[in-house]
Each structure stands twice: as C-alpha cells, then as structure tokens.
C-alpha cells in the first residue's frame, strides 16, 4: 500500500456489525464479561478501547512499525516512553527539542533520577563524545523547532546501535506522510498528534509507534499502568484527520515553497530557515531521509519590535502557539513556545528575539504572501 492509500485503508476499516464506513466512537469505560476473565478482547478502556485501538492500528501501519499507542498529549507519549528507562539511566537529546520536552527532562524526570544531556545532533559526530556507561537512548527531533535543523537519522542510529542504545525520534514536524524513522532504523517514533496528524486545531493528542514486540509489550504495560490514554472521541478525530493527511501535507508544502521564495527575496529579512532551501546546511540529508520538507518556516526580522509589528499587522496568520493546522499560525518563539527555555540557552541555540516562526496553512498562497508583504512594510 502506498502512503495515501494507507491513510485511508490502514488499520481497521469501519464497523463489521453495521457496515458503517467510519469506525464507531465507543464511548465506554467497561465491558460485559461472559464469565470471570472471559471477554471479547476489552476489559476496561484504560487498558484498551476499540476506537483507540483502531487509531493505534492505523498509526502503526502508516509509521510502518509493529505496535501503535495513543496518549492524551504528545507530552504524555514522551513521558510514557521515558518511563521505559530507570533511575540512573542517561539519555542524549537533540539540543533544540520542543520546549516542553526540554522542560519534562530537566524539571520533572530529573527528579526521578533520569539524566539528560542536550547536544547538537545535526552533526552526528557530537553523539559519540557524550555517550557514557549509563547512556541508554538517543532522542532526536528532526526537523527541529523553530530552526528547522535536520539530523541524519540513519547516521545517528548507527552510532546508537553500536553503543547498545535505543533511538527515539520525535517525528511531529515531518509527519508519517513525509518521513518514517522506523524505516531508517529508529526503535520508537512519537508524534504530537495535536499538530499535523489532527490538523484542524481541535484536539490534543500524542502517538507512539515501536518496531519491536518486546518494546510494544513494555510500552503497553506503561500506558496501562500510568494511564495517560487518549479518549475515544479524540481518537476518532485523529482517524478522521489522518484520512486527509496526504493531501494536506502536499498543499502545506506547495504553499510553503512559494512563501519561502518570497521571504528569500525580501530585503528586511536576515535569515530564512527551511530544509528545502539548497543552502540549508543539511538540505541533502533532508532530501535523502524524507519525501518532503514540510510546512514550517522561520525567519529573522532583526528585533523584537519588528517581529511584534509583523505579528500584529497580519490578517490571515493567527497569532498562536502550536502548528500544523489548516489555518496559518504565526509566533515569536523566544516569547511564546520557547519562553520556558532560559534566555542564555535560547541565545546559544540561535533562537533570537527577532525570529518569527510560521506554520503555513491551507489558505491561498497569494493571499498569504500579500499579507506578509504588507506586514513587513515599515
């Protein structure tokens, strides 16, 4: 099955009993047993729910893994994955990971004895140097947020495997439509499904897929034990969102390419960050490991004042956190999504005060460009 077909025919189709072409929403917590322990595969909805199961089967198919899991948010998925490890274990992570991922590692999980080191994985030669005896996993985000840095996933996996470490990839920005880290050798892939997978700014959810039965059993044990599961209504919304993921991603990218061309020619902009630009430092790797470059672009207008002026002047870009929806969104990472990262660290990473990030939506590209043009005028 090719990708666009997987999105519509992957996993469980409709309802056997009625012929309904959409999976029913099983709004239920418990299931009648014919005798003690004799049930039809479902006992209690934290352990398993048919609507969530249909979504878990679907994400498994489209990420080409062995087992899928749905959580109440991307952060719940990440936390559950980190619970695979124990006090005293050490994890290496990409240095400009999502702000919430940085926060959970450094303010929550550290209190339970999980050690973290953040490194620039866009140069894979940085990985080996930081591996310690207790290093158990490499956590990569690629592309990153908001500088769209790319890590060579295959190259990183090679180093991780040689050192007995698992590789975990946050694939939120690329989506399973453009990039499948498990096929590049990764062990676990996770998504904030709140973004492109849901796609309509109406659900908060997280997904994880593993490529190994044992890891699958371990992660199910944690999902069931810690309980951060996704409800049936939201699971259904994701199944619905995934059906159009392919055409949405194609269109997000077409619009983004046109906007990037406009930004590159604009005098008031110092840097444009997009992996599809030939001068992007890891453009060749992006081209090799993904089928598309996505719909996120960042650019620098030089100062907070200028950036704030752009944000308040645009008409079609909604000033909001988040990304990956049908409506275009605009933000200043330093003041919004990355505010939880200390200022010194932000400057180290290059997340400057004049940096604007846009999540290009599905409006008409010409309208979006005209809107940016007027907002950038002095």
Ligand X SMILES: *Cc1c(COP(=O)(O)O)cnc(C)c1O
Q: Which residues bind ligand X (CB under 6 A)?
A: 73-75, 98, 100-101, 141, 145, 170, 172, 192, 194-195, 204, 206
Residue corresponding to tokens 């605009």: 330
As measured in angstroms, the least distance from the Cβ of 190 to ligand X is 8
Of residues 67, 96, 98, 196, which has the active-site annotation? 98
Residue 284's CB is within 10 A of a number of other CB atoms, namely 12
Q: Which of 3, 4, 46, 161 is catalytic?
A: 46
Give least dist CB 82 to ligand X, A: 13
Q: In whole angstroms, what separates CA 341 from the centre of its chain?
A: 19
Minimum Å distance from CB 172 to ligand X?
4
Say if CB 38 and CB 219 are below 8 A apart: no
Min dist CB 321 to ligand X, Å, is 8
98 is catalytic: yes
Judge whether 212 counts as a catalytic residue.
Answer: no
**Based on CB atoms, which residue is closest to ligand X, 206 or 231?**
206
Which residue among the candidates 95, 96, 170, 300 is catalytic per the annotation? Answer: 170
> Active-site residue 195, yes or no?
yes
Report yes or no: 294 and 178 within 8 Å, Cβ to Cβ: yes
**CA–CA gap between residue 127 and residue 93 (Å, rounded):** 9
Query: Which among 195, 257, 306, 357 is annotated as catalytic?
Result: 195
Q: How far is the CB of 31 from ligand X (least distance, A)?
A: 28
Closer residue to ligand X (CB): 98 or 178: 98
Nearest 5°: the CA angle 372, 172, 257 is 35
H-helix or E-strand containing 262?
helix 245-265
SS3 (DSSP) at 220: helix
Q: Is 158 a catalytic residue?
A: no
Considering beta carbons, is residue 24 or 72 the nearer one to ligand X? 72
Contact 178, 292 (CB under 8 A): yes
Tell me the closest approach of the beta carbon of residue 357 to ligand X, in angstroms: 11
Q: How far apart are CA 231 and CA 52, in angstroms?
A: 7
Tokens for 37, please give them.
């322990």
What residues have CB less than 8 Å from 56, skipping those under 6 apart? Answer: 11, 67, 68, 69, 70, 207
The CB-nearest residue to ligand X is 74
Cβ nearer to ligand X, comparing 167 with 192: 192
C-alpha to C-alpha distance for 176 and 152, rounded to whole angstroms: 17
Per the CB < 8 A criterion, the answer to whether 126 and 152 are in contact is: no
Residue nearer to ligand X on the CB measure, 252 or 306: 252
Between 54 and 208, CB nearer to ligand X: 208
**Active-site annotation, residues:** 46, 98, 170, 195
């Amino acid at each position: 099955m090719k990708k666009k077909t997987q999105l519509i025919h992957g996993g469980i189709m409709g309802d056997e009993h009625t012929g309904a072409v959409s999976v029913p929403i099983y709004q239920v917590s418990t299931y009648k047993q014919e005798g003690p322990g004799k049930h039809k595969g479902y006992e209690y909805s934290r352990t398993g729910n048919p609507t969530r199961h249909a979504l878990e089967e679907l994400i498994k198919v489209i990420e080409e893994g062995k087992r899928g899991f749905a959580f109440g948010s991307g952060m719940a998925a990440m936390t559950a994955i980190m619970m695979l490890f124990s006090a005293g274990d050490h994890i290496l992570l990409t240095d400009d990971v999502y702000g919430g991922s940085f926060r959970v590692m450094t303010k929550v999980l550290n209190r339970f004895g999980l050690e973290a080191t953040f490194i620039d994985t866009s140069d894979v030669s940085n990985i080996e140097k930081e591996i310690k005896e207790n290093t158990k996993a490499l956590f990569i985000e690629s592309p990153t947020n908001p500088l769209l840095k790319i890590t060579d996933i295959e190259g990183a996996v090679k180093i991780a495997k040689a050192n007995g470490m698992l590789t975990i990839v946050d694939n939120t920005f690329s989506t399973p439509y453009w990039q499948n880290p498990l096929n590049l050798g990764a062990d676990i892939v996770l998504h904030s499904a709140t973004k492109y997978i849901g796609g309509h700014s109406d659900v908060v959810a997280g997904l994880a897929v593993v490529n190994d039965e044992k890891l699958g059993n371990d992660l199910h044990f944690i999902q069931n034990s810690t309980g951060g599961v996704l409800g049936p209504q939201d699971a259904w919304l994701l199944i619905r969102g995934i059906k159009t993921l392919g055409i949405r991603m194609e269109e997000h990218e077409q619009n983004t390419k046109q906007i990037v061309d406009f930004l590159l020619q604009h005098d008031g902009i110092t840097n444009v960050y997009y992996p599809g630009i030939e001068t992007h430092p890891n453009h060749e790797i992006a081209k090799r490991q993904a089928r598309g470059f996505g719909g996120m672009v960042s650019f620098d207008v030089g100062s907070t004042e200028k950036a704030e002026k752009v944000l308040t002047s645009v008409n079609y870009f909604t000033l909001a956190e988040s990304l990956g929806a049908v409506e275009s969104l605009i933000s200043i990472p330093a003041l919004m999504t990355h505010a939880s990262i200390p200022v010194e660290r932000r400057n180290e990473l290059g997340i400057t005060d004049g940096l604007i990030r846009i999540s290009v939506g599905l409006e008409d590209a010409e309208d979006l460009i005209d809107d940016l043009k007027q907002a950038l005028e002095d």
